[in-house]
Amino acid sequence: MAEGSRGGSLAFGQVVIGPPGSGKTTYCQAMRDFLGRLGRSVAVVNLDPANEALPWPCALDIGELVTLPDVMASLGLGPNGGLLYCMEYLAANADWLRDRLQGLRGHYVLFDCPGQVELYTHHEALKNVFAQLAKWNFRLAAVHLVDSHYCTDPGKFISVLCTSLSTMLHVELPHVNVLSKMDLIEQYGKLAFNLDYYTEVLDLSYLVDHLASDPFFKNFRRLNEKLVEVIEDYSLVSFVPLNVQDKQSMRQVVQAVDKANGYSFGDREHRSLEALMSAAVGADFHFSSTLAVQEKYVQSQDKAVEEEVMDL
């Protein structure tokens, strides 16, 4: 844990970000339990002033400093404006956060952040808070959660890619994009391509062609082509699939995050050669995790087809 200066000891953790409903709070709860079973001392910090009914005890709550209902009532702001004000207030009172974090010395910290997208794409307040945490010797990775149901709609998936890219460029932290709720993906409908197409963000021209078959999107083909060109030019966006109820899936995300924030290269845990090699190579676990989820998805689709045939 940092001592408030660059000379203090390092602290590792994650800032969990993403749009509303993407599963950030559920992720923090599952990750806290999973890392706890690995022997890490984990502390969860709630930075969402709108998150009033937490399903688990947190080590630090922004509600002690400012709450969204109070801001809305006193300043006459709506939910969006009120949330932006809360984050600006937090950034202006960084000393409060630093003092409270002193008590979490030696912990791996999960920061549960608000779900307002503009906080991560162009607003400066939360970005400034992350910069302060870095000055206090926190080594953080941004875990950006995206609901996997967007994969079933090509138009929405292109929008998600643009949002993820904008977030990566604005937040300026080591970044891991995660497709959450993979256990529910078969309920959203059939995917147009294999799952690895979406997780590895392969040749997006196929996605544009698929969109062109829709009468509505046919008129916007040129726009979609330009958006795809921007995404492919940066070549930064990829996803790790996640089912919080599956231990192997959680392990793959932990490996990706530990590599991103540098925890894998520390001496806090005894690591086998396999784990170190996985962190060094980087890409191997993406394929294995995607393959495992893909197999489950295909099996569920095959089962659904068999049931339809039996009904006939």
Mean pLDDT across 147-169: 91
Amino acid of residue 85: Y
Please tell me the predicted confidence (pLDDT) of residue 224: 87
Per-residue pLDDT at 149 exceeds 80: yes
Per-residue pLDDT at 280 exceeds 70: no
Alpha helices in 103-194 (DSSP H): 118-121, 125-135, 154-171
Residues in the chain: 312
Mean pLDDT across 128-142: 95
User: Which of the listed CATH numbers 3.40.50.960, 3.30.460.10, 3.30.2350.10, 3.40.50.300 matches domain 11-201+237-266+274-299?
Assistant: 3.40.50.300
Q: How confident is the model at residue 276 (pLDDT cuts 50, 70, 90)?
A: very low
Mean pLDDT across 119-126: 94
Residues ≥6 apart with Cβ < 8 Å to 232:
204
Full-prediction pTM beyond 0.75? yes
The C-alpha torsion from 160 through 166 and 167 to 168, rounded to 10°, is 110
Please tell me the predicted confidence (pLDDT) of residue 15: 97
Residues ≥6 apart with Cβ < 8 Å to 121:
163, 166, 167, 170
> How confident is the model over 33-89, as pLDDT tens digits?
999 999 999 999 999 998 877 777 889 999 999 999 999 999 999 999 999 999 999
**DSSP reduced 3-state for 175:** strand
Please tell me the predicted confidence (pLDDT) of residue 97: 95
Distances (CA, A) of 36 to 26, 40, 221: 15, 5, 48
